[in-house]
Structure 1
């Protein structure tokens, strides 16, 4: 884990008043994810490769919206 604090950011596509998930990209090997409405609450940590695969699938519309 890095000694730097996670630098959190939201998607530029966030349009619901800013209430969405935030991710931090400066933690080596993992991608922390948290709820922007609860910035001091818990965060999930996903392996970086898994997060990358998830983003690729989302961008490719691989998920059923139903």
Structure 2
């Protein structure tokens, strides 16, 4: 499981984050996180069985600004 710093580096590089990884850092169970995706509350891209959360959505969920990560 990637550390919080690794997740932030990925977001700063404008790369998507796996849903299960991000769920850990927003204090939701993976099941609750996936249900929120299905309800449309969280933007996600589905590739096969994997759900990826775009960088801008990851920032929203973590309460950070993407611009602040690049600085």
Do the two structures share a fold, i.e. TM-score over 0.5?
no
The alignment's TM-score, normalised by the length of structure 2, stands at: 0.28
Larger Rg: 1
Considering fraction of residues, name the structure with more strand.
1
The alignment's TM-score, normalised by the length of structure 1, stands at: 0.29
Using CA pairs below 8 Å that are at least 6 residues apart, which structure has the higher relative contact order? 2
Considering fraction of residues, name the structure with more helix.
2
